[in-house]
Amino acid sequence: MRVKPDPHDPALSRPVTGLNEAGETVSLNVVTERPMTLFLNSQEVVTMMTIGDHPDLLARGYLINQNILTRDDAVEIVEVDDELGVVVVRTKEPTTFEVKSKKKVRTSGCAQGTIFSDVLEAFEDVVLPAEAKLHTSWLVPLAKTINTTSSLYLEAGAIHGCVLAKGAEPIVYFEDVGRHNAVDKVCGWMAANDVDVADKIFYTTGRLTSEMVLKTVMMGIPILISRSGFTAWGVDLARKAGLTLIGRAKGSRFLVLSGHERVVFDHESGS
């Protein structure tokens, strides 16, 4: 795995003392949460709550997933000031963010989730790779690798994880307090590394909401999997875009509600 969680980073969690149900003193690690304000050139874009790791990837991925930047836009530098909680993405050319900033709508994402309404317009033009395939025999080993990887989720809980995979092999694994932040880190990593997404799979621990479907489609990834359930609008958008949408994936059990033509049923039923 090229990038994976670092649950032992002291900046990402801290011990807190409390009492259990028997009145006994206990100590447990809790995930940190801090504000990070994103600027695009000289324009403030948004303040998000995040655990604080990979701020450069989070910032770049956010801007791409909001359709403010494209993966092809030339980013000169990403500057991070941890003390001030600020990240600045600087581009070679001016952007149209000033216009787009007037068209925000609220979404169902935890922490802070905003999308720009023109994302819905751009969504209409995305064509996902039809030749991509998902072998159902990949699901169990993929989930096992993700679930047994040392992570903040195992260490402290209260966090979401998102994974980019090829076949049964995870490539990168990011976590954050908001699932949309974890998605944006994956997007930022793909943009920074010029990754071909045609044969990739996106796995999330969170619900398959409209926001998750929109972001996956905007990233061009043809297959989205979660161990959680669906929302109706998420399913509708997936079907409209031709996204393969698999939820409630636990063990060898799962449900496919969209894009079944990409699924190769080669697992042993009930295994």
Residues of the chain where predicted confidence (pLDDT) is lower than 50 = 103, 105-115
What is the per-residue pLDDT for 221? 98
What is the per-residue pLDDT for 119? 81
Summarize pLDDT for 138-151 with one digit per residue, the tens.
Answer: 999 999 999 999 99
Determine the Cα–Cα distance for residues 68 and 66; give it in Å rounded to an integer.
5
What is the per-residue pLDDT for 205? 93
Question: Are residues 152 and 135 in contact, defined by beta-carbon separation less than 8 angstroms?
Answer: no
Contacts of 49 (CB under 8 A, 6+ apart): 33, 34, 35, 36, 111, 112, 177, 178
pTM score, two decimals?
0.90
What is the per-residue pLDDT for 267? 84
Structure tokens at 118: 């023109």
* Residue found under tokens 């932040």: 181
What is the per-residue pLDDT for 117? 63
Pairing between β-strand 223-226 and β-strand 244-250 as defined by DSSP bridges: parallel
Structure tokens at 198: 């045609």
Positions of E strands within the chain? 13-19, 25-31, 34-40, 43-50, 75-81, 86-91, 104-106, 114-116, 134-135, 160-166, 169-176, 201-204, 223-226, 244-250, 253-258, 263-264
What is the per-residue pLDDT for 112? 39
What is the per-residue pLDDT for 101? 57
What is the per-residue pLDDT for 113? 41
Q: Which domains does the chain have, with CATH numbers?
A: 34-123 (3.10.20.10), 134-264 (3.40.140.10)
Structure tokens at 59: 């910032």
Angle between helix 179-193 and 210-219 (nearest 10):
0
